[in-house]
Amino acid sequence: MSELHLSSPEILHRAIARFADVTVLVVGDLILDRFVNGVIERISPEAPIPVLHGRGEMLAVGGAGNVVSNIVSLGGRAVPVSVLGDDAAGRNVMRMFEELGVDATGIGQTRERMTSSKSRFSALNQQVLRFDEEEVRAPNAAERKELVAHFRAALERADIVILSDYGKGVLLDGVAAELIAICREAGKPVLVDPKGRDYSPYRGATAVTPNRKELGEAAGRAVFADDEIVAAARELIAANGFDFVVATRSEKGMSVVDAGSARHIATQAREVFDVSGAGDTVIASFALALAAGADRAAAAAIANAAGGVVVGKRGTARLTADELTGALFRSHGAIHKDAILDAAAAQRLVATWKEEGLTVGFTNGCFDILHAGHVSLLHAARSQCDRLVLGLNSDASVRRLKGPNRPVNDQHDRACVLAALASVDAVVVFDEDTPLKLIETLLPDILVKGADYTIDQVVGAEVVQKAGGRVVLVDLVAGKSTTGTIGKLRAGTGN
């Protein structure tokens, strides 16, 4: 696929929309995550320890399985390949994959192996104890032969590969190196979520995705500043033949570094509840975006937003494409200012805003030459809602409505100017003479027009009211119009 460059939310939206076309092959350690919630009301008479009264529990697939879950939740296709124990924990993992609709035929089960499990005990949403059951062991000869065979078969239909190393044994003793060599031979990109200080077992991978602490451990020194991150990443690239390194940096965001360039993506401020599984979400979303045609910086921007969402959730979390879209458009920063979307992308964004409990407003027009009346209308419209979508007549639509000499500014220029206004959260260009079809698609909570209309004259009023919304008419600035401005310009030039 051709690369998409980080230039506007529209580009990021397009990559997310392509997730459904991507198949990711995931190999690594599968873990059963168990979350037990309860309350602590007394100290045990047997020992000076608190007694947790259980109030319920939840099971989830952790480790490489959480990568798989995130890929599926984001709309992509995931194919897991691994080795599990033929035990209760392993059977729970296989059952949950079946419930996710994941093809788990590439997972071997054997009685000689123990499935890793982690039980987390929490009281009032505060984790008080974690109990791990595991046996770290590399696959034996038979297990390894089966795993590699499953990997080769699945690789044919995969667009990209993730090796998720949780240090439980599946990728030990040269297994990672063998799989990377197979990927290189097949021309398939392979991303590695690494474990430990020595990255030589991953030599030849397309990229590794350490967090800042892991990057420092691999480089043999603490790293904090941008230049320190870049230097450490380039040392790993030179030593291990990686194409690039993606370093996650907690509140500092992300850095994408190759031998000749570096890009730092700032994070969005967000309340952190739990970092469990955030790395899984990051590598899952980064792989999907990269395989969907995004360049490295755009893929990192998407993955950075994804990680910001899941740290605001409790437990080993995953997210949906709609949540990811909402995160990308939440702020009024550089990404937001060019928020020019198509109708489908706007529909997804509006749905996300509504799920967050935000009221969505809509107004429309040609906005050919922006003037004080336009700015006043948009400011008044935005004051009625939490988010404002502006429907913009296309050039062809303006010509039909205003005549062959209009518009003065083409739709791209008009959209860019409008999207840069603080009062506008998204701009959608429509080709029809009226915005009725767009209003039916978006179903805004509030429809705003100028007070020179009556409610029965407002296109889409009935649709919005029937859906439980309302129509608001706002006062216009007297004597301000595009037609009047054009008339003055022509008079001034003698035309």
Return the active site residues. Answer: 280
Beta-carbon contacts of residue 322 (< 8 Å; ≥ 6 apart): 348, 351, 352, 355
Ligand-binding annotation for 314, yes or no, is no
Task: For residue 151, give the amino acid letter.
Answer: F
Task: Count CA atoms closer than 13 A to 463's CA, side-chain side.
Answer: 16
Beta-carbon contacts of residue 187 (< 8 Å; ≥ 6 apart): none
The CA-atom distances, in angstroms, between 467 and each of 101, 362, 439, 472 are 34, 14, 11, 15
Report how far residue 229's alpha carbon sits from residue 400's, in angstroms, rounded to the nearest whole number. 56
Tell which residue, 325, 254, 251, 315, has the closest CA to residue 283. Answer: 254
Ligand-binding annotation for 490, yes or no, is no
Within 10 A of 494 (CB to CB), how many other CB atoms are there? 5
Radius of gyration (Cα) for the chain, nearest Å?
27
Handedness of CA 272, 276, 280, 283 (dihedral sign): positive
Q: Strand, coil or helix: what is 128? A: strand
DSSP-derived secondary structure for 308-353: HHHTTSSSS----HHHHHHHHTSSSSTTGGG-EE-HHHHHHHHHHH
Ligand-binding annotation for 214, yes or no, is yes
CB 244 within 8 A of CB 209: no
Ligand-binding annotation for 402, yes or no, is no
Report how far residue 23's alpha carbon sits from residue 72's, in angstroms, rounded to the nearest whole number. 10
Which residues are paired to 322 by β-bridges?
none
Report how far residue 268's alpha carbon sits from residue 304's, in angstroms, rounded to the nearest whole number. 8
In sequence order, which ranges of 18-140 are alpha helices (DSSP H)?
A: 64-73, 88-100
Report how far residue 265's alpha carbon sits from residue 281's, in angstroms, rounded to the nearest whole number. 17
Beta-carbon contacts of residue 92 (< 8 Å; ≥ 6 apart): 32, 59
What is the Cα 264 distance to its own chain's centre? 17
Annotated binding-site ranges: 211-214
Annotated binding-site ranges for ATP: 211-214
